[in-house]
Structure 1
Amino acid sequence: MMRWFKYILFIFVSFVTVVSNAQSKLDINGYISNMGQSAFAKDVGNDYQFLNDFILHNRINMTWYANDNFTAHLEFRNQFVWGQSMANIPGYANEFARDRGFFNMNFNWWQNANNLMNTQFDRAYIEYVTGKFEISVGRQRVNWGRTLVWNPNDIFNAFSYYDFDYMERPGSDALRMKYYLGTASSAELVAKIDSSNDLTLAGLYKFNKWSYDIQFMGGYVYGQDIVVGTGWEGNIGKVAFRGEASYYKAAENFADTSGVFLASVGFDYLLGNKLTIQWEFLYNDPKTLIDIEQSPTAIFQAPSTSKSLSFSEYNIFANLSYIISPILTANLAGMYYTDYKGYFLMPAIDFSISSNLYFSLMYQYFNLELHNKRSGSNVAYARLKWNF
């Protein structure tokens, strides 16, 4: 705990000392949510096993505008979990406290057989802007992805689509420099160190051509690979068209090793201002697939790197979102995994009780062929969320 505390204290004390003045402004916002979830799974020939849990989730976002040039950001979430998963899922509490960053800023205040209290800092950085130049240092999100579900270009902080309750997504301990070359073009350089002391150093060049936002990136990642990649986003008529691809190759014995290729392509279409249709495809090189044979819970965890985004070589995603009324929206998302002859379904309903109070129902269902037999996994969620 002291390591993360000293890190945050150092950043903010240094910042106050350098740029403090009477014109500073502090903005605070966030939310509180209470979510119940019930998980139940069944293999062929076995009975259902139910695990019921509740998560009280509070997020705080703090932004300090010290002056026209300096801004400080501190964002964290507190989660109080109680239920049956801790006693029935090995490593459940430790997974909550796992931090992939160089600084350990994620910890459990306590944990026992049926509850835990966790705090996670995923943003803690200072940003300096002058003219066309920006520099930021600390824990921050570096988002180079263009598609919505799988991001081969998101080399700094990959995320899991299944973790819908974590909208902000993880951050990285990084130094980021960005220079705007024009209205729609920029160049940036980012250096990151993770919990294994592995260095990721990469650059990105972004520009607009033929009404498309296009990017090229490359660098040294995860302390072992050379990566090059590209991404784009634009429209084909009324259809949004986006994609990205990356090629990884080990830096050691570069000429003697084979590379890893990942690519995702997606389309969005808005029909009649009420129905949105999304489709996405991912190819994940079979050499880097996530292993769920030994650990089925790995499905729900965020991938450790952007070169291992799925447990299937070919993946198809589709989503329908329909605005039933101004306060009620229905969604149906699904995936198909060729390697396991399996699929995933997630229907959801979001109801706006007021301008800042929301109620949601979600359901996640996996059906996969594991160890030569069909296996079904279900999780039902009910969430009440208040934004402030």
Structure 2
Amino acid sequence: MPRRAYGGAVNGLFLTIGFLILLPTPTNGIELNGYYKNLFIGSETIIGPVEDYWLDINRLRLGLSERWDKMEVDLVYDNEIQLGSYLDTIQFRQFAERDDPRYWDLQGNTIDKNDVYGTHQLYRGTVRLSGDKADLRVGRQQINWATALIWNPLDRFNPLNPLQLERDERTGVDAMLLDYDVQDLSRLSIAYAPQHKPSDASAAIRFKSNIDVVDWSVMAGEFVDEKKLGLGFAGQAQLIGLRSEIVFSDPDTSDEYVEVVLSADYTTDDGIRLVLEGYFNGDGESDPSKYDFSLLINGEKLGLGRNYLGGSVGKEVSPLITVALYGISNLDDHSHFLYPSFNYAVPAFEDLYVGGGAQLFFGSAQDEYAFFSNIYYMELTHYF
């Protein structure tokens, strides 16, 4: 990474800390939190020569919040050290040298050697101003307009890759978000994410409201080179939660297309959570020979095929142990993805958790999920 990225991140951090020091004493005190995570991964590369590798990620995340009468400042800062044979692969170098899409230069390298790779970033950093009906948030943040649980074509500012290993991690977007409460249960939201090249900026507006037991929303916006119009619905039928997202897209360089998600979730009396979700991708290919895997790797598309079925099963086996199974099937090429996992709260140590699992891929040559390699991982997380 260029030295400019490192310097920009350090300067941005010191400016923010200085800003906090100069502000009046917060009315509710300073809140500090964070975690340390060790994530150990074993797999093989999918870019360049096929090589077995191991990777050990050590992440220290520190959060600080200060609140005043109508203003709140939130900072979440990451320092990460990576070790392992993965650092010697072409795949690692290709991902490490990609340009960062975020507007502010608040991330960079601390060390880049053959056996150690260190990074730091402002993971979240926002200033929030609140009024009686309006709420303005500026900075690096998550803008989550999703309705469904696995595929979220409505969620374009912070899209989640359905194959992502750490499903609770979302890259922040540098943006302005204005929320205005029109009335009870009705909210108007306007978001703008700038870019140094104005044509790459994203802007959208959403209105969310409620009719009887159904929450609904409508979204319109332009994201880089695509205009989008979307609808979202979430309701309840007896004990079954029902959700849907419908998004119409008009790209500048290709034909119009539609994406549709239908989702249902149910929790049994025994505490087993079941999710079943279908996804139609009008921009996908029914012929695997036409797949462009770079779109999936870069997070530009939620899937390369047209018809998908996904779901999950999760249960808290005991107050200490949670298990889950998450999976996706491409109904066109008949390839599959399974993600079993567990999480264990270590009783002898408060806020210490041990987890693990695997991402397993099945399919024939050229199929979507046959492209990826199985991943096996263990993780240890301590919250404070």
Q: Fold conserved (TM > 0.5)?
A: yes
User: For the Cα contact (< 8 Å) 2:45–2:53, is it kept in 1?
Assistant: no
Over 3 Å counting, the alpha-carbon distance change for 1:8 and 1:243 in structure 2 is farther
Name the amino acid aligned to 1:131. D
Cα deviation for residue 238 of structure 1 reads: 0.4
Cα gap change, 1:328/1:91 in structure 2, threshold over 3 Å: closer, same or farther? closer
Q: Greater shift after overlay, 371-380 or 238-247?
A: 371-380
**Structure-2 change in CA distance of 1:35 and 1:217 (3 Å):** same
Counterpart of 1:360 in structure 2 is: 355
Partner of 1:145: 146
Deviation at 1:209, TM superposition (A): 0.6
Match of 1:212 in 2: 214
Residues of 1 paired with 2:322 and 2:211: CA distance?
Answer: 35
Aligned partners of 2:295 and 2:45: how far apart in 1?
15
Give the Å deviation of 1:385. Answer: 0.9
Equivalents in 1 of 2:293, 2:29: separation in Å?
A: 47
Partner of 1:127: 128
Q: Cα gap change, 1:23/1:95 in structure 2, threshold over 3 Å: closer, same or farther? A: same
Amino acid at match of 1:258: D
| Counterpart among 372, 376, 382 of residue 380 in structure 1 | 376
- Farther off after superposition, 95-104 or 139-148: 95-104
Residues 204 and 215 of structure 1 are in contact (CA less than 8 Å); yes or no, is this contact kept in structure 2? yes
Structure 1 CA distance for aligned equivalents of residues 307 and 27 of structure 2? 54
Structure 1 residues 126 and 376 mapped into 2: Cα distance closer, same or farther (>3 Å)?
closer
In structure 2, do the counterparts of structure 1 residues 183 and 25 end up closer, same or farther at CA, with 3 Å as the change threshold?
Answer: same
What is the Cα deviation at residue 293 of structure 1?
8.2
Structure 1 residue ranges without an equivalent (≥5): 43-47
What is the 5 A alignment of 1:152-191? 152-165=153-166, 167-191=168-192
Q: Distance in 1 between matches of 2:133 and 2:110?
A: 42
Q: Structure 1 residues 68-77 or 24-33, which shifts more?
A: 24-33
The AA in structure 2 aligned to 1:246 is V
Residue 91 of structure 1 and its aligned partner are, at CA, apart by 4.3
Pair 359,297 (structure 1): closer, same or farther in 2 beyond 3 Å: farther
Helix, strand or coil at the partner of 1:86: helix
Q: Which amino acid is the alignment partner of residue 248 of structure 2?
A: Y
Report the 3-state secondary structure (helix = DSSP H, G, I; strand = E; otherwise coil) of the residue aligned with 1:78: strand
Give structure 2 stretches of 5+ with no counterpart.
1-5
Counterpart selection for 2:304 from 308, 311, 314: 311
Match of 1:36 among 40, 47, 60: 40
Alpha-carbon spacing, 1:376–1:193, altered in 2? closer, same or farther (3 Å): closer
User: In the alignment, which residue of structure 2 is the partner of 1:57?
Assistant: 59
Q: In the alignment, is the contact (CA less than 8 A) between 2:26 and 2:66 conserved in 1? A: no
Q: Contact 1:76–1:119 at 8 Å: present in 2 too? A: yes
Q: TM-score, normalised by structure 2?
A: 0.87
What do the CA deviations read for 1:126-152 (whole angstroms, capped 9, x no partner)?
000011111111111111111111111
Alpha-carbon distance, 1:25 to partner: 2.3
Equivalent residues of 2:285, 2:306 under 8 A apart: no
Question: Is the 2:335–2:363 contact (alpha carbons within 8 Å) kept by the matching residues of 1?
Answer: yes
Percent identity over paired residues: 19
* 2:29 alignment counterpart: 25
SS of the residue aligned with 1:151? coil
For 1:239, the equivalent position in structure 2 comes to 240
Q: Cα deviations across residues 82-107 of structure 1 (Å, max 9, x unaligned)?
A: 11112124344743875221113232
Q: Label 1:285 to 1:113 Cα distance change in 2 as closer, same or farther (>3 A).
A: farther
**168 and 317 in structure 1: CA distance in 2 versus 1, 3 angstrom threshold:** same
Q: Counterparts in 2 of 1:268-283, with a 5 A limit? A: 268-283=265-280
Would the aligned equivalents of 2:289 and 2:366 in 1 still touch at CA under 8 Å? no
In structure 2, what residue type is equivalent to 1:160?
A: N
Tell me: CA distance 1:149–1:58, structure 2 relative to 1, closer, same or farther (3 Å): same
- Once the two structures are superposed, what CA deviation does each residue of 1:47-85 show, in whole Å capped at 9, x if it has no partner? x953112111221122111x1101111112222111111
> Whose strand proportion is higher, 1 or 2?
1
Q: Give the secondary-structure state (helix, strand or coil) at the position aligned to 1:62.
A: strand
Aligned residue identity for 1:20: P
Of 261, 285, 296 in structure 1, the residue corresponding to residue 282 of structure 2 is 285
Aligned length in residues? 372
Contact 1:122–1:171 under 8 Å retained in 2:
yes
Q: What do you get for the CA RMSD once the two structures are aligned? A: 3.0
In 2, are the aligned partners of 1:260 and 1:288 still within 8 Å (CA)? Answer: no
Candidates 2, 8, 12, aligned match of 1:3: 8
Determine the C-alpha separation between the residues in 2 that align with 1:208 and 1:60.
Answer: 37
Match of 1:369, SS state, is: coil
1:330 partnered with 2:310: no
CA distance in 1, matches of 2:34, 2:298: 23
Aligned pair in 2 of structure 1 residues 297, 62: CA closer, same or farther (>3 Å)? farther
Q: In 2, are the aligned partners of 1:37 and 1:380 still within 8 Å (CA)?
A: yes
Alignment deviations for residues 233-269 of structure 1 (CA, whole Å, 9 cap, x no partner): 11111011112121111368xxxx6312112121111
User: Does the Cα contact within 8 Å between 1:340 and 1:370 map onto a contact in 2?
Assistant: no
- State the 1:225 CA deviation: 2.4
Distance 1:15 1:361, change over 3 A: closer
User: Residues of 2 paired with 1:251 and 1:296: CA distance?
Assistant: 21
Q: Structure 1 length as normaliser, TM-score?
A: 0.86
| Matched AA of 1:236 | A
Residue 203 (structure 1) aligns with: 205
Q: State the AA in 2 paired with 1:115.
A: V
Cα distance change on mapping 1:16 and 1:115 into 2, 3 Å = closer
1:276 and 1:59, CA in 2 relative to 1: closer, same or farther beyond 3 A? same
Paired position in structure 2 for 1:115? 116
